């Protein structure tokens, strides 16, 4: 049997792979890739329209400004509010109502950057289940390294993140 890559696969190898996939699907175990997108439900980040002026990214992506007066980012005003800024690979969370922290959204396990949830003060990369607390520290693997933290300053209704 030939596969589109041109590699020859024996009948035994094919049946072994097909059988494994059948068993996994029978048990309800899914196989997920690292590049799926997120939905705005169940701990998923709110969707911010790119044209409402709430978020501006400058200096080659190294400076992010968030205008808290815009409705699309109003979740950040409350404790536990958070955003995933995909255009800058950045997470931001309001830790306690007044304290904001920001991190890379590139998971230290295998580099997924758009599959994040936040609940119970934990970020979860839904690609493979790694969890990080609000200081960016790993609390559950498979990731072995903490998320890189960025500097956050708040002036009035403006948050600035410097990467």
Joined together, the tokens standing for residue 155 give 């002036």
Residue linked to tokens 């580099």: 111
Q: Is the pLDDT of residue 136 over 90?
A: yes
Reduce the secondary structure of 130-158 to three states and give it as a string: EEEECCCCEEECCCCCCCCEEEEEEECCE
Residue 80 and residue 94 in contact, taking contact as beta carbons nearer than 8 Å: yes
pLDDT of residue 162: 96
Is the pLDDT reported for residue 18 higher than 90? no
pLDDT given for residue 83 in this prediction: 93
**For residues 55 and 150, which has the higher predicted lDDT (pLDDT)?**
150
- Token couple for 145: 């390294």
Higher-confidence residue: 19 or 107? 107
The domain ranges of the chain are 1-31, 55-162
Question: In angstroms, rounded to a whole number, what is the distance separating the alpha carbons of residues 87 and 50?
Answer: 10
Q: How far apart are CA 82 and CA 91, in angstroms?
A: 7
Q: What is the pLDDT of residue 110?
A: 84
Question: Can you give the pTM of this predicted structure?
Answer: 0.69
Length of the chain: 163
- Superfamily the domain 55-162 falls into: Rieske [2Fe-2S] iron-sulphur domain (2.102.10.10)
Q: What digits encode the pLDDT tens for the residues 86-133?
A: 889 999 999 998 899 999 999 998 878 788 999 999 999 988 889 999
DSSP helix/strand/coil, 113: coil
């Amino acid at each position: 049997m030939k596969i589109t890559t041109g590699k020859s696969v024996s009948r035994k190898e094919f049946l072994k792979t097909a059988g494994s996939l059948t068993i996994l699907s029978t048990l309800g175990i899914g196989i997920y890739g690292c590049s799926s997108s997120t939905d705005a439900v169940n701990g998923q980040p709110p969707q911010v329209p790119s044209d409402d002026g709430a978020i501006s990214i400058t200096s080659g992506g190294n400076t992010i400004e968030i205008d808290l007066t815009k409705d699309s980012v109003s979740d950040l005003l409350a404790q536990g509010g958070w955003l995933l800024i995909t255009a800058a690979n950045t997470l931001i969370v309001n830790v306690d109502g007044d304290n904001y922290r920001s991190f890379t959204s590139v998971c230290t396990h295998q580099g997924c950057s758009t599959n994040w949830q936040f609940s119970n003060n934990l970020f979860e990369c839904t690609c493979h289940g790694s969890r990080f607390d609000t200081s960016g520290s790993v609390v559950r693997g498979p990731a072995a390294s903490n998320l890189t933290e960025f500097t956050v300053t708040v002036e009035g209704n403006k948050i600035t993140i410097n990467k």
